Structure 1
Amino acid sequence: MTITTVAHLNLRGTARAALEFYASVFGGDLVAVTYADAGNVARPDEADQLMWGQVTSDAGFEVMAYDVPAERAWDPGVNAYFISVRGRSADEITAYWERLSAGATVLAPLAPAGWAPLYGMLRDQFGVTWVLDVAAEYAPA
């Protein structure tokens, strides 16, 4: 049996914009189903918001997101989660960093770190915190 674990972002009114942005950063295909598409409209002003969406790329990137309806409680929290993107190439991670950092707050600049050849952390324009790094072999002490 095989499973896949995918980050699922719970946003409020910005899920489509977030997924479009992530598709522009990582490439891949965007699938978006609105509440209207699913026949599940509780509030007319939310009909075009996403009940479910996903970006999947050939490189292995995958993320899902939806717009939490106004009738449900939603609190983005503080450091509730990070999304980690780990690659084998500094060039690949740097390219993702440069695109993902548009409109972002840099929490740790992309630079060599004691545990990775390249590491950085940012909070994007949608409030999602991303950690990007180049994978390094673990060498126990």
Structure 2
Amino acid sequence: MVIVKASPSSEAGELPSTELLEAMGNYNEQLVKAGIMKSGDGLKPSSAGVRVRFRGDERIVTDGPFAETSELIAGYWLWEVASMEEAIEWVKRAPNPMNEESDIEIRQFFEMEDFAEQDPDGKIAEQENELRNTAVLRDGTLAPYLFFAGRCDEALDFYQQALGASVLMRMRFSESPDPVPEGMLQQGFENKIMHATFQIGTQTILCSDGCDDKPSFDGFRLSLSFPSEDACRRIFDALAEGGKVDMPLDKTFWSPLYGMVTDKFGVGWMVMVPCE
């Protein structure tokens, strides 16, 4: 964690200048391109915050502002670097985040390996890993993906008229950056919709004509996205157990990792890492 310490100006609520915002934006862009920055934000002054003191069973809430400015935090980054030395070099390249002299503090996170002596049987580490996996799953998104068996254009027109839908994009098989595998499409489907996105209210729905005009009761798949490839692989494998892999996980032009699977209950899924 790279901590931007508060200053008199930040505690007074003074906002950074346009020049500083632009410089900090350019710096953050360098961090992201280098694969270092995981997150980062500025914090409002302590006058907008509270403190909770723990004294036995008592909880004492105190409203800000707080006097010891040099000990307060005005912002932070989370970085993943190889060493403290690398972090120091990156901090030296940062623009001064304040209008006056300022300090940036660098602190390392504990890893579970640091607690090996306190966790000799590994139970606490196992629990921590399960909690991390649960947190990753909560970042997943679920969206319906509908197959219209050659009537996708008709369906989109209907939803626009009947439901006020907004068509966000539509791409035809003939427009695909990658050639469609030979024999995949029914004859005459070359100009059908490969992928389209429309919105009804706040719900975004994905759809396609599919590869032929054979409608079926199970003419849909659930599209499930995760921010990490590890989570994507883990969930894909779990859905495939007792089911059928329709398309193995692989890199595509629209996703760094994408695959299709039908689970043991007959529900079709598309599992992917969304393209950044």
TM-score normalised according to structure 2 size:
0.24
Which of these two proteins has the greater Rg computed from alpha carbons? 2
* TM superposition score normalised by structure 1: 0.44
